[in-house]
Amino acid sequence: MSDDATETLSGVTRLFINMGADPNAAEVMARQLIKRAHQIADERGITLVEATQHLLKLVLEARQGD
Q: What share of the chain is helix, strand, coil (3-state, %, to 5)?
A: 85, 0, 15
Between CA 28 and CA 27, with CA 53 as vertex, the angle to 5 degrees is 10
Question: What average pLDDT does the segment 4-33 reach?
Answer: 95
Check residue 4 and give its pLDDT: 82
Mean per-residue pLDDT of the chain: 94
Q: How far apart are CA 63 and CA 41, in angstroms?
A: 23
